[in-house]
Chains A and B, each alone.
Chain A
Amino acid sequence: MATKRRRPRFRLAITLGLAIVLSACATGGPLDSLDPQGPIAEDIDGLFKMTLYIATAIFVLVQGALLIAIFVFRDRKGRKEPKQTHGNAKLEVVWTIIPVVILAAIAVPTVQTIFKYTDCADDSMNIDVIGHQWWFEYQYEDYDITTANVLAMPTDTEVCLRMTSDDVVHNYWIPKLNGKRYLIPGQETVLQLEADQPAEYWGHCAEFCGLSHALMRARVIAYDQPDFDAWVAEQVAAPVMPAAGSLEEQGLEIFLGNQCAACHNIDDVNPLENAIGPDLTHFATRSVFAGAVLELAVPGELEAWLANPPEIKPGSYMPNLNLSQDEIDALSAYLRSLE
């Protein structure tokens, strides 16, 4: 009787479970690693899904056997004492060999894929990535561009990131384009990215890197080749100079008159070697700032950041400069003009 009552409940549980799983699958967000958007990520995804299917089959078989054993051999009235079997050599050999065979089958494509993605092609485009607490810096050797937080790249091209870190270990991850790779102080690591479609891709530093690890995010924007060329042209152009007497010019003066100028490079205006902070020459061309956490388009975010950076990003190397609201407005206007 007990078993009869149980059945509908089981069916309900299964339906509910399936519903939950299915609804979950529909929610792929901007960091979804199961939604690959380039050949590298697709390769990895294929490998993972193959393993996942095999694992699911094994899961069903093993849990099924366990459940059957529990329910069929459950102690009931009149159940005889069990035979005292100590083992079965044949059976044990079989269930040792089967996993070996399965694992060997998975191992082959695994090893192939490892070797496929360990070094960049000779003709790939190089970008140097430098990890800082808590933002990524990008340097395009071929174009003499230095930028931060937003990485621009052409579609259908293998981009080769040559990465290192300025402070602690970071881990670069654009889930839709490839897996992760460390940025290690004093060493160089390599990661390839390739995107099929022009789009904006989200990323995140994945290794714990101190106080504001959660706020060390990344954006990658893939452009069609013509758009990418336009982006390059924009970046190599001289910085915008504010008109005399404008609010922007006041902002520039505040920039030069405060600690800002000690840490941030702006070509022609405030040239610095090995600047501590992000390069601001074309700040306004980047949709996000402060570790790709804040958005330039969202009103007030830049102003809040300028008012008190450590409030937003604990541990920040950019101090609270105690600027007045007028100073902040002027500075913000200047920064927003740096297209």
Chain B
Amino acid sequence: MATTAAPIKTIFRRPESSTGFWSWITTADHKKIGIMYGYVAFFFFIMGGIEALVLRIQLSVPENTFLTAAEYNAMFTMHGTTMVFLFVMPASAAFFNYLLPLMIGARDVAFPRMNAVSFWIFLFGGIFLYSSFLFGTTGPPEGGYLAEEVSRLGSSANGGWFGYAPNSGAQFSTGTVMDYWALGLQVLGLASLISSINFIVTVFNMRAKGMTFLRMPVFVWMTTVVAFLLLFSLPIIAVALFMITADRQLGTLFFDASAGGDPILWQHLFWLFGHPEVYILILPAMGIVSEVLPTFSRKPLFGYAAVVFAGAAIGFMGFGVWAHHMFSSGVTPITQAAFGLATMAIAIPTGIKIFNWIGTIWGGRVRLNTPMLFSLGFVAMFVIGGLSGVTHAIVPADWQQTDTYYIVAHFHYVLFGGAIFGLFSGLYYWFPKLTGKMYSEALGKIHFWVMFIGFNLAFAPMHWLGLNGMVRRTWVYAEEAGLGPWNMAVTVGAFTIAVSILIFMFNWWWSRRNGPESGMDPWDARTLEWTLPSPTPEYNFGVSPVVTALDDFWEKKYTTDDDGRPVRRENADLIIAELEETGLNPPAPIHLPAPSYYPFIVGVGVFVLAYGIVYNTRPWGIPLLLAGALIVIGSFVGWGVEPLEEIHEEHHEPDHDGNNDGEPAADPTKKAADG
């Protein structure tokens, strides 16, 4: 099977599409991988959404009996875990994968097949996590009793997405479900770690000629910051997950308080990862918004450098605020004060971003297309989430707020009103680039308004519920607490959001088939990806671009008059037509990464290995573990001996100048010209 992956460097003279099932399994094309990330992430978004609706049905009235406690705990744990690790992160990865090379003028990422490895490990990690609904077991804590067996719906991870020890330990979370959770996250983390290395190297090394760091689009900057956040936070959660797995499987005592272990250590490790994780979720959306707002205001981003540095500052400071998740844990007053102040300080770069976005729109010519609506919705909702975030930094106030729905409201304003609105903005914005078609603007706007109203109906009342004493992660609440009416409103809001998602799905499906041709540059946009034909050819750029300015494409199309207003250059249309021509008919052969079976097989191996660890005490557990390890090792060996290099050399030399324009090497020193 592996030998069929032999064709090495395909040479494209004209665009030809490689299609069919196996082309997706074996692809190393960043765009195909990005699309797969997108669809898989959306699938998990639906799963997480269904879980949310189930939760909301249960909570719509006090003392409801729709779900059992076990089912509710599994639902909210999987909802959080899914939305964070299986939806927003991979959805962002979908954007990174598809757009990053396009925006920096590259043909692919630095390690195309490692990119495929990331995707397959992620996909199998997600399947592994969800397979606990089929195979997982759980029950009452040791010594406790249940009136009835836990149903399948309740047989999944049940310790919360934060998995606080010792509740997630073997004594209090019996059965295998938390093993699935810990290992599933470990596997997903591995996938993210590999892709973060890939993206960092891509951004540092693969930029087009002239694409200096301060000419990179803000989205690329935010991708870079996210990659570094992943790089430095994932090893910490990896250690924590190894520890909890060892506690559960091998009897180590890290979090076992009865033997001197420290439950709070888990919280420190988890949030030392978990807070940067929050920025990992939001920064990609901030990047998207920073692309959309200028395009639809027909103005450059206000204060580009400030927005970039604010993003980097948010990422950097994100490592210094983790204990604000633990203000009620009895950490010392000095710690509380320090982390409270640090948390307030994060409001400053965040404020800079918001003000600069408003400055971008101000004085512009604002076109309210669907992507713009979502981006404006992002800004408006993020302001609310940011302000409620500042109230958490008031430490004593947080003693009241923490672990209530006030927090749930806050982070949904930031991560749904923020991240998800931003992601939808990006989906509509780049839909033409992806498909070559235009979506239905009317349906897009309906989607926005239904979602906007549903969102606010679902999450605004939660502020009130939280302050009124609604505790998080409770499957019932007392009627006397007076929380019923607002909970019903929240549930109605949740279903309204679900309706808006159906509208989106229909729009996507319908427009892909029936939408009008979009052309290359439907938005009169500013960045390099719009210089490509739509949909993007497999090799991206027919001729590698040379960049001379920030918003290079816009500068090529427009000059400014004495008043500072843009004037379309006379030859702008000609330039675009030329770009399309060379985009569709590259003048010289282009090397593309060869497809390979090995990334997929690595994913399978990791999958098998993970089951082996969960079931290591069964007679077949260790053999399964070894089999998984062998598959992984074997596929790397196979990968290593794939005879790429010899054949590769033949095409390599003439093109050694590196910008891949197919012309002979002109000047070897220019390699470092823009470093």
* Chain A–chain B contact at Cβ < 8 A: yes
**B383 contacts A by Cβ under 8 Å:** yes
**B481 contacts A by Cβ under 8 Å:** yes
Q: Select one of B69, B358, B365, B366 contacting A81, CB under 8 A.
A: B365
What are the residues of chain B within 8 A of A117 when measuring CB–CB? 396
Q: Which of B459-485 contact A (CB under 8 A)?
A: 461, 464, 467-478, 480-483, 485
A49 nearest in chain B by CB position = B397
**A95 contacts B by Cβ under 8 Å:** yes
Roughly how many angstroms separate A66 CA and B263 CA in the complex, as a whole number?
45
**B47 contacts A by Cβ under 8 Å:** no
Expressed in whole angstroms, the minimum distance between the Cβ of A236 and any Cβ of chain B is 31
Q: Which of B119-150 contact A (CB under 8 A)?
A: 140-141, 143-147
**B661 contacts A by Cβ under 8 Å:** no
Q: Are B145 and A63 in contact (CB under 8 A)?
A: no
Q: Are B565 and A81 in contact (CB under 8 A)?
A: yes
**A113 contacts B by Cβ under 8 Å:** yes
Given A99-B347, A114-B395, A214-B476, A315 and B300 touching (CB < 8 A)?
no
Given A179-B399, A190-B330, A87 and B303 touching (CB < 8 A)?
yes
**A143 contacts B by Cβ under 8 Å:** no
**A204 contacts B by Cβ under 8 Å:** yes
Given A29-B469, A84-B565, A99-B351, A51 and B366 touching (CB < 8 A)?
no
What 0/1 pattern do residues 112 to 130 of A give for CB contact below 8 A with B?
A: 0111011000000000000
**A73 contacts B by Cβ under 8 Å:** yes
Given A30-B481, A48-B397, A81 and B566 touching (CB < 8 A)?
yes
Q: Are A114 and B336 in contact (CB under 8 A)?
A: yes
Roughly how many angstroms separate A316 CA and B141 CA in the complex, as a whole number?
9
Q: Are A55 and B467 in contact (CB under 8 A)?
A: no
What are the residues of chain B within 8 A of A31 when measuring CB–CB? 468-470, 481
Comparing B211-219, B242-250, B254-262, B623-631, the segment that makes contact with chain A is B254-262
Q: Are B365 and A62 in contact (CB under 8 A)?
A: no
**B564 contacts A by Cβ under 8 Å:** yes
What are the residues of chain A within 8 A of B476 when measuring CB–CB? 214-215
Per the CB 8 Å criterion, the residue count for chain A at the interface is 99
What 0/1 pattern do residues 29 to 67 of A give for CB contact below 8 A with B?
A: 111111000000101100110011001001100110110
Roughly how many angstroms separate A293 CA and B69 CA in the complex, as a whole number?
15
What are the residues of chain A within 8 A of B144 when measuring CB–CB? 133, 211, 310, 315-317
**B615 contacts A by Cβ under 8 Å:** no
**A74 contacts B by Cβ under 8 Å:** yes
Roughly how many angstroms separate A82 CA and B554 CA in the complex, as a whole number?
14
Q: Are B333 and A114 in contact (CB under 8 A)?
A: yes
Q: Are B302 and A87 in contact (CB under 8 A)?
A: yes
What 0/1 pattern do residues 163 to 199 of A give for CB contact below 8 A with B?
A: 0010111010101001111101111011000000000
Q: Are B146 and A180 in contact (CB under 8 A)?
A: no
What are the residues of chain A within 8 A of B362 when measuring CB–CB? 65, 69, 73
Q: Are A169 and B263 in contact (CB under 8 A)?
A: yes
Q: Are B404 and A206 in contact (CB under 8 A)?
A: yes
A186 nearest in chain B by CB position = B257
Q: Are B365 and A114 in contact (CB under 8 A)?
A: no
Expressed in whole angstroms, the minimum distance between the Cβ of B575 and any Cβ of chain A is 19
**B160 contacts A by Cβ under 8 Å:** yes
Q: Are A315 and B262 in contact (CB under 8 A)?
A: no
Given A48-B394, A55-B391, A210-B172, A30 and B469 touching (CB < 8 A)?
yes
**A5 contacts B by Cβ under 8 Å:** no
**B70 contacts A by Cβ under 8 Å:** yes
What are the residues of chain B within 8 A of A315 when measuring CB–CB? 69, 140-141, 144-146
What are the residues of chain A within 8 A of B361 when measuring CB–CB? 66, 69-70, 73
Roughly how many angstroms separate A311 CA and B471 CA in the complex, as a whole number?
22
Count of CB-CB pairs between chains A and B under 8 Å:
331
Q: Are B348 and A59 in contact (CB under 8 A)?
A: no
Expressed in whole angstroms, the minimum distance between the Cβ of B62 and any Cβ of chain A is 11
Roughly how many angstroms separate A328 CA and B230 CA in the complex, as a whole number?
58
**A300 contacts B by Cβ under 8 Å:** no
Q: Which of B348-389 contact A (CB under 8 A)?
A: 348, 351-352, 354-356, 358-359, 361-368, 376, 379-380, 383-384, 387-388
Comparing A100-108, A150-158, A247-255, A265-273, the segment that makes contact with chain B is A100-108
**B12 contacts A by Cβ under 8 Å:** no
A176 nearest in chain B by CB position = B469
**B304 contacts A by Cβ under 8 Å:** yes
Expressed in whole angstroms, the minimum distance between the Cβ of B15 and any Cβ of chain A is 35
Q: Are A44 and B400 in contact (CB under 8 A)?
A: yes
**B563 contacts A by Cβ under 8 Å:** yes
Q: Select one of B302, B328, B391, B394 contacting A181, CB under 8 A.
A: B328
Q: Are A84 and B566 in contact (CB under 8 A)?
A: yes
**A220 contacts B by Cβ under 8 Å:** no
Given A48-B394, A51-B397, A206-B403, A69 and B366 touching (CB < 8 A)?
yes
7 more contacts with CB within 8 A, not counting A66-B361, A81-B566, A186-B260, are A30-B481, A33-B401, A44-B396, A83-B565, A87-B306, A115-B333, A202-B481
Offer 8 A-B interface pairs, CB within 8 angstroms, sorted by A.
A59-B384, A85-B363, A96-B352, A110-B337, A117-B396, A180-B399, A182-B330, A208-B160
Shortest beta-carbon contacts, A-B, top 9: A31-B469, A179-B399, A29-B482, A214-B474, A185-B257, A186-B257, A189-B330, A206-B403, A87-B303
Binding site for A on B (CB under 8 A): 68-70, 72-73, 140-141, 143-147, 159-160, 164, 166-167, 172-173, 257-258, 260-264, 297-300, 302-306, 328-330, 332-333, 336-337, 340-341, 344-345, 347-348, 351-352, 354-356, 358-359, 361-368, 376, 379-380, 383-384, 387-388, 390-391, 393-404, 461, 464, 467-478, 480-483, 485-486, 560, 563-567
Binding site for B on A (CB under 8 A): 24, 27-34, 41, 43-44, 47-48, 51-52, 55, 58-59, 62-63, 65-66, 69-70, 73-75, 79-88, 91-92, 95-96, 99-100, 103, 106-107, 110-111, 113-115, 117-118, 133, 165, 167-169, 171, 173, 175, 178-182, 184-187, 189-190, 202, 204-215, 217, 293, 308-311, 314-320
